[in-house]
Amino acid sequence: MSNKEFEDFFKDLEPKDNSPAEDSAEDSEFVFSSFFEDNTSARRESEPEEPVRPSGREDESSFENDIFAPPPPEEDEEDENGAFSPVSEEEPYIEPAPEIPEEDKRLKRNPSSKKKKRANTLYNSLITVIWVSVVLAVSVFIASFALSSINDLVGFSKESREYEIVIPEGATLGEIADILKEKGVIDEPFAFEVYARVKNMQERLAPGTYTLNSNLGYDQIFQVLRKRDTAKETISLTFYEGMTVSEIAKKLDENGVCGYDEFMAAVDTETFEYEFESMMGTNEYIYHKWEGYLFPDTYEFYLNTSPRSVMAKFIDNFNSKIIAEYYERMQELGMSLDEVITMASVIQSEAAKKEDMELVSSVFHNRLASGSGLPYLQSDVTYFYYRDEIEPYVSDDEELDNAYHTSYDTYYKKGLPVGPICNPGITAIEAALYPENSNYYYFVTDADGNFYFASTMAEHEANIVKAGRAG
């Protein structure tokens, strides 16, 4: 359409003064419609034919190619709630902020709740640490107890030592376990009691006196306590202070406890692994190893008992009698255990009363003191021990006989004899440790056992006359 035609077209659209308004509207509509039809047809002929769109959108497609048609709306986007929102090219899409949980909203509204939450976390952590620590501690204790109980049950890695055990009449299983623990036979009385109940032994352990070794397992202990013949004959024997090992052996043999030779062999060879054994004398001329250490007392024995079991009663008693105070006193005096027991044995053989023992001890200590000028004890009882206990068995060997003589007889041996000459009691041992304070260097006794003490040789000679020992 030319410009002139376009202008004429619009002029024709203007209403005529002599035409009614209604006619003008119809004509205008008709002409406008015809214009679009003609214009559209012309464009369709000049442009290639486009593929047919699906039904329902044909009218919209016709406007897309028309310069007068408004731009088609863009397709709406569907939001997360299913609603459609128009997309604007001018405003960029902004992603909505994540929704804040209700708990965090509360924390923001109330800042102190953060501190409370943090405090709760610390508290819970502390409780957890304490609980884990308690569980670990209990576990370690249980494991330690279990290991100790197992070792105790089988007697594994326990030192060998024999003890005399007295189970009284009517003793309960718990009391028996406590007695065994106190004596050192077992380490875990609770485990012993539980195991005894499992083995149904609570009513089968008989009262009586037993000799048990500390390296026995529970089953072995049950055998000893259960196998005992309650009707088996026992004997009670008293051994006095000052008896020698050979005198003890004779008494045991005479009363059917054990044989003399077997007991003397045990006296010379047995070991019991007591701590004090390392403090005993080691001189090669000590005639009997355990002389001085078989503590004199009253004991009950079974007939036909092993010598070792018999010895264990004496030695265990000795070990219990030599208390820590005595060892401390030995250190103050600068004396060994062997020296104290040896001196006590000489004191025991010389005197019977406590006051006499303490004065005799003062004489020996004064003579043994540095610079006394009297290094020989000159005690008759040391010679008697050699004469009665040693000489009869070594006289065939003159050299050996002389060696023993000069090792025990304090008229020839300076200071103390090489070893004890009897088995002293506690009074003599205490006298050796705590002598009377005196300046005596001599003593003599009369036929009734009365003592006469002197500080000088002249006084001593006068006392010999008084005691009826002159000539």
Contacts of 413 (CB under 8 A, 6+ apart): 376, 382, 406, 407
* 237/235 Cα distance (integer angstroms): 6
pLDDT score, position 262: 96
| Strand segments (E) across 80-171 | 84-85, 162-167
Q: Which of 240, 300, 283, 256 is nearest to 424 (CA)?
A: 240
**Average pLDDT in the chain:** 80
- The whole-number average pLDDT for the span 84-88 is 49
- On the question of pLDDT at 445 being above 80, the answer is yes
Least confident of 37-41, 211-215, 376-380, 392-396: 37-41
pLDDT score, position 170: 82
- The whole-number average pLDDT for the span 390-400 is 95
pLDDT band at 141 (very low <50, low <70, confident <90, very high): low
- On the question of pLDDT at 21 being above 90, the answer is no
The position carrying tokens 């007939």 is 303
* 260/253 Cα distance (integer angstroms): 5
- Kindly state the percentage of the chain with pLDDT values over 90: 49
- The whole-number average pLDDT for the span 367-381 is 92
pTM for this prediction: 0.60
Q: At what angle do helices 218-227 and 189-198 cross, to 10 degrees?
A: 70
- Kindly state the percentage of the chain with pLDDT values over 70: 69
Least confident of 20-24, 106-110, 223-227, 345-349: 20-24
The position carrying tokens 């679009």 is 36
CB of 391 within 8 A of CB of 401? Answer: yes
- On the question of pLDDT at 24 being above 70, the answer is no
pLDDT score, position 319: 96
- Cβ atoms within 10 Å of 457's Cβ, excluding its own: 11
* 445/448 Cα distance (integer angstroms): 8
CB of 378 within 8 A of CB of 416? Answer: no
Most confident of the following: 76-80, 126-130, 202-206, 346-350: 346-350
* 179/189 Cα distance (integer angstroms): 9
- On the question of pLDDT at 17 being above 70, the answer is no
Contacts of 158 (CB under 8 A, 6+ apart): 151, 152, 187, 214, 215
pLDDT band at 53 (very low <50, low <70, confident <90, very high): very low
- On the question of pLDDT at 160 being above 90, the answer is no
pLDDT score, position 59: 47
- On the question of pLDDT at 467 being above 50, the answer is yes
pLDDT score, position 39: 47
DSSP string, 162-187: EEEEEE-TT--HHHHHHHHHHHTS-S
Q: Which of 321, 364, 323, 327 is nearest to 342 (CA)?
A: 364
* 121/127 Cα distance (integer angstroms): 10
